[in-house]
Chain A
Amino acid sequence: SQKIEQNSEALNIQEGKTATLTCNYTNYSPAYLQWYRQDPGRGPVFLLLIRENEKEKRKERLKVTFDTTLKQSLFHITASQPADSATYLCALDGGGSYIPTFGRGTSLIVHP
């Protein structure tokens, strides 16, 4: 069955460091992969989308990589700030169905 795996353990880092979150998937051939931020009690907020034919995408302090051979995406936040503390979800979409499947998310805690 299709599966999306994100590290269930919270990632704790110091302010100013680079946070790296991982999204692995199996039995899936996504057309694109998305990353979202979710704060407690709120809906996810779209951050970045990367297509299967793209290796890397950047937006301000955010960088996403997508390796379809390894079936893995890495999400980086450089110069992290306490305000970046949240849960980050990855989502896969086959493209034609427009129905994203979400991972459970990884909690990021940035300490001042």
Chain B
Amino acid sequence: EADIYQTPRYLVIGTGKKITLECSQTMGHDKMYWYQQDPGMELHLIHYSYGVNSTEKGDLSSESTVSRIRTEHFPLTLESARPSHTSQYLCASSTGDSYGYTFGSGTRLTVV
């Protein structure tokens, strides 16, 4: 069972609202990632972090921010939600070696 947790599991929110998607892992992994995935499509990297106080932008980062104040916590914030943000958001972590990436169950976001 994966030790990476995302909350909320589902979220319906109005346009213009500020939202924070939570992601926590208990494995002590240095590297953490946020991906966005639409049904039947590939994962697109939004943000990633190599460790505490390290954050980098991915392909789709322009409308969101992240922080990494603690190793185990990597929240994603949308300052002003839009219908185009409707998607599944997946958080992942890794030690960076050959054990692959561990994903959370995702947050299904709907912006109305």
A43 to B108: give the CA distance in the assembly, Å. Answer: 11
**CB-CB nearest in chain B for A4:** B42
Q: A43-B90, A43-B92 are in contact. Are A98 and B50 (CB under 8 A)?
A: yes
Partner of A46, one of B35, B100, B108: B100
Encoded as 1 (CB less than 8 Å from any A CB) or 0, chain B from 36 to 77 comes to 000011110100101000000010000000000000000000
A99 to B101: give the CA distance in the assembly, Å. Answer: 10
Q: Pick the most buried of B99, B102, B103, B108: most chain A CB atoms within 10 A of its CB.
A: B103
Encoded as 1 (CB less than 8 Å from any A CB) or 0, chain B from 83 to 112 comes to 000001011101010111111111010000
Partner of A104, one of B42, B50, B91, B92: B42
A98 proximity list for chain B (CB < 8 A) = 31, 50, 94, 96
Q: What is the number of residues of chain A that contact chain B, defined by CB distance less than 8 Å?
A: 22
**CB-CB nearest in chain A for B100:** A46
| Residue pair B45, A45 in contact (C-beta under 8 Å) | no
Q: A99-B48, A102-B43, A104-B42 are in contact. Are A34 and B106 (CB under 8 A)?
A: no
A60 to B51: give the CA distance in the assembly, Å. Answer: 34
Q: A82 an interface residue at 8 Å Cβ cutoff?
A: no
